[in-house]
Structure 1
Amino acid sequence: MDGRVASSGETQRRDGAEVLRVENLTVRYGALVALRDVSWSVRPGEILGIIGPNGAGKSSCFAAVTNAVGHSGQTFLDGDEVSATKTFDLASRGLRRTFQQNSFFGELTVLQNAIAAIVREYSASLATSLFLPWREIAVRRQAELIAAQLLEFFGVAAQYHDKLPGDVPYGVQRLLSVALAYGTGSKVLLLDEPAAGLGGSDMQKLADVLVDLRGRNLALVVIEHHMDLIMSIADRIVMIDQGAMLATGTPVEIQRDPKVREAYLGRDE
């Protein structure tokens, strides 16, 4: 990554209370313990990176945080325990996530996907549609405007808005998936390998978007295998290996940790 992004990542934002905190998360799939007593937290305006080898339990951590799988341990959002809150309700409260695969409606245009992501905030009631159709039209036009602005912020240019997601470049698809998860604004965004399959200018665009989101006081938790990306933008990093936390610290501390170097980053010759 270039120096501009790296210098942005050096800014530490540790003001305010933790917006998301997880304590002793444990996930079991039958006899397999995928995650064991993992704890971390993230504040507004902070990027927390989660790294580890394949199969380390990183995605299981996100599934547990969003209550998509059975687990033990506790999760707190804005100080309230949400360990048993339904995934859909967590999203309504501002805790949202992406997946390793792109997530969108393939039969809708890029703009229509964005409208669908904000439909709860920008939609008319049935009564309005029936008896005040001009107001319904105004609401629809506002939704289109807000959706277009959302896409533009995430680097999805207007030239792609009328295309189907499958017809736009892969790098644009990745940005679209992040935009749809963010919607009209979230408090915490969990990103599962957002840079998968990216390189060069596409990865730089993603890095710029994540840094801009941090500047908007969003809390981001990013699972990532691209070490150059996560080390350049993260404020803190958690290393997970074989389901357990191996180390936590700043990018510099993580890179110097001998346990991390041995387990993941590789030893010096």
Structure 2
Amino acid sequence: MIRGHIDLATRARVEGWIHSDRVPLAGARVLAFHDETCVGGGRVDVFRQDLADAGLGDGCVGFGFPVALRSDQDPRVLDVRLEGGTLLLKQGACALSPREAMGADRRRQGRDPAALSWMLARGWLDQRRHDALRGLARFGAHPLQLQIERRGRDVASVCDEVALEAADLIEFHVHTAIDCEIREDVRPADLAAIRREVRASFPFSPPVIGLWAPGPHHLDLVEGSHLADGEAEPGAGVEYAFGGRTLLLADLDAAIGFRGGDASTPFTAFVPCRPEERP
């Protein structure tokens, strides 16, 4: 007889246990599925003292591994299967949690280093996208050096090309199709309102946008502060440059400040929105 249970299922991770009275399953591979799409995998290699005390073998019956769900995929319908077998573990009672109660879990869904490495290994991400998403998850910002030709081109055409780069990475970040709105003449004071807009459109994703300008700009960002909301004092944190051939992806949950002339100079923001929300 094979028994098991899914103890935890979020957009970032699945945990549980599985045990066979006849065949040891330690080291066996298990896969997580959303409907018929595989979204993660791991091995039965976690020792559980509570299950050992309950007489389930030597207690090495647990599993836990990252999963990668799109924003429209519900973790409550995840199931876990033994690779190559017909056994399927479905979840028992499920409960909805209010968005504000999700805390840090909302920010790391499918974006923690283990999940990103898993997607890289499966070929779901290339190295460039992996590094950008990992930098965003770890620091709250990631600068990208763009291979674009600017000579003989007007600012609008260059901006459109940069917007395509921003849209590609933000789409991977939110795990769903987006439109990318180009907003010109944005000033630092506008970022709070943009943050609210992005969080309303993508409530299960950190509010990431792209920043760019024809000329050099700088901002100060307190790395890691996207995991604890706050504002940065001018000169605090780490200086990030953007503009020209540099696109900056920034998590607006981070503490961001501008200093000197950058505090009053406008720039361009690439803001994700759902296609149906586009004016």
Q: Same fold (TM over 0.5)?
A: no
Q: Give TM class, smaller chain.
A: under 0.3
Which of the pair has the greater relative contact order for Cα pairs under 8 Å at 6+ separation?
1
Larger Cα-atom Rg = 2
TM-score (norm: length of structure 1) = 0.25
Instruction: Determine which structure has the larger strand proportion and give its number.
Output: 2
Structure number with the higher helix fraction is 1
TM-score (norm 2): 0.24
